[in-house]
Amino acid sequence: MRALVQRVSRAKVSVAGEVSGQIDAGLMVLVCAMRGDDSGKCMALARKISKLRIFKDEDGRMNRSILDTGGAALVVSQFTLAADTSRGNRPGFSEAASPETGEALYGEFQEALRELGIPVQSGVFGADMDVELTNQGPVTIWLDL
């Protein structure tokens, strides 16, 4: 599983002009299932994200997790995180999971976050989405499990 995690003060995703998910303070999580990923990787990624200490404490240090702050996560499927540009200028996506597997793991990942106590909003798998966010910090973390 691969994810790009951003600390946000707000984030929203829309499909055809209709909001499908929206959060205030929390995490924007762009996630991609890779070939060979399984349910165990979903849970491991969810646990890692839930414990990332990227929110400020009372001293202004990044020392708190989303669980500590009570924030929410906006999870958006992003198969382009699997892009391979090593052979030229046109990205290849052969390392991404198949659409069927990707969609199933996308759902499992969201459920794993919920089981850990994180409120989750989401985009629509496979849809053409408009994503808006205010990256706070900015803080952006790349995770590859």
**Catalytic positions, written as ranges:** 78-80
* CA 59/CA 78 separation, integer angstroms: 35
The answer to whether 41 and 49 are in contact (CB under 8 A) is no
Length of the chain counted residue by residue: 145
3-class secondary-structure state, position 111? helix
Extract the tokens encoding 18.
């209709």
Extract the tokens encoding 80.
């382009």
Give 115's contacts (C-beta < 8 A, 6+ positions apart): 46
Give 30's contacts (C-beta < 8 A, 6+ positions apart): 3, 4, 5, 6, 76, 78, 81
